[in-house]
Amino acid sequence: MSLIRRNTGLFPSFWNDVLTPDWFGGVDQHNQTLPAVNIREGESDFTLELAVPGQKREDFNVEVDNDVLTISMETRDEKTEKEGEFTRREFRYTSFKRAFTLPETVHQDDIRADYKDGILRFTLPKKEEALPKPKRLIEIGK
């Protein structure tokens, strides 16, 4: 099962993959910062964690569409200082967009998310039919 979806652009080709700096995700690194991601599968759910410290909960945009979980963020921080005849202007622009293809076993209506200590954590519960079945004994008749 894969939670990762490649973003290869409008016209994917062999040359796009070769010329892209990130062969595994096809992401332009010039204007984006990709957060590290941990994916763990448990008995009853998947846990997806993104390391995005220093952000606010309202900075994130999360949506599910056609079995794809898309997480994006965009922030701008501008600061202007003026001393005498000199003016200094500093700004910071941060954005990212990650998309994960959800397996058929995920119950999409029950996905939960929280943001604490710089970690954006998603809990993706499995559907009832995907949960492990308890062991049962079968008696042998006479």
Burial class (CB in 10 A: 0-12, 13-18, 19+), 99: middle
Q: What is the pLDDT of residue 24?
A: 45
Q: Which residues of the chain have pLDDT under 50?
A: 17, 21-31
Q: How far apart are CA 138 and CA 142, in angstroms?
A: 13
Q: What is the pLDDT of residue 4?
A: 53
For residue 42, the SS3 value is coil
What is the identity of the amino acid at 126?
K
Whether 139 contacts 38, CB under 8 Å: no
Q: What is the pLDDT of residue 31?
A: 47
Q: What is the pLDDT of residue 118?
A: 94
At the top level of CATH, which class does the domain 36-128 belong to? mainly beta
Rg from Cα positions in the chain: 21
* Domain positions in the chain: 36-128
Q: What is the pLDDT of residue 10?
A: 52
Q: What is the pLDDT of residue 11?
A: 52
Tokens for 26? Answer: 């096809």
Q: What is the pLDDT of residue 13?
A: 52
